[in-house]
Amino acid sequence: MTSLFSRIIAGELPGHFALKDEHCVVFMTIAPIRTGHALVVPRQPINHWMDMPADLNAHVFDIGRRVALAQRVAFGSDRVGLVIAGFEVNHVHLHCIPADEMSHLNFANQQHNVPATELADAAARLAAQLRTDGVSGAL
């Protein structure tokens, strides 16, 4: 199964990455709800999160936790919401969204046409904090 995310991971489409490791990647969504909204995506194109093998599931969710910890510092949020919707792209992905209130997790508030420079800046800020936190694979 080739997905939009498979093409981003392969470099066929642009992406603003903060982390790449053997099993997953972290990049900024092109339609963020809030600045710093990142996706944790396994390299393996699996359609539904419940179908991930247990070891991959554990790794992806651990990276999601590490991303959330970094986002709180890098983007100054009180919390980070984790959303697994799975409707927009048929490839497992965790939405890690810096949030200070419940409305910050509302997908109706997605920002479209965000300049690439803003996405690149957010990826750089997240990657820098992941490196500071000692997370393997941070760019």
pLDDT digits (tens, 9 = 90+) for 50-102: 999 999 999 999 999 999 999 999 999 999 999 998 888 999 999 999 999 99
d(CA 97, CA 82): 6
Within the chain, what is the greatest distance between any pair of CA atoms? 37
Residue 25: inside a domain, yes or no? yes
Output the average pLDDT for the chain. 96
Looking at the DSSP assignment, which residues form a beta bridge with residue 136?
Answer: none
* E strand residue ranges, 31-138: 38-42, 79-83, 94-99
Asked whether residue 137 is assigned to any structural domain, the reply reads no
- Please report whether residue 107 resides in a domain: yes
Please determine, for residue 105, whether its predicted confidence score (pLDDT) is greater than 90.
yes
Domain that holds residue 118: 4-132
Q: What is the CATH number of the domain that holds 125?
A: 3.30.428.10
Residue 28, pLDDT > 80, answer: yes
Q: Confirm whether 23 is domain-assigned.
A: yes
Q: Examine residue 138 and state whether it is found in any structural domain, yes or no.
A: no
In a domain, 82, yes or no: yes
Q: Is residue 139 part of a domain?
A: no
Cβ atoms within 10 Å of 91's Cβ, excluding its own = 24
pLDDT band at 2 (very low <50, low <70, confident <90, very high): confident
- Domains held by the chain: number: 1
1: pLDDT strictly greater than 80: no
88 located within any domain: yes
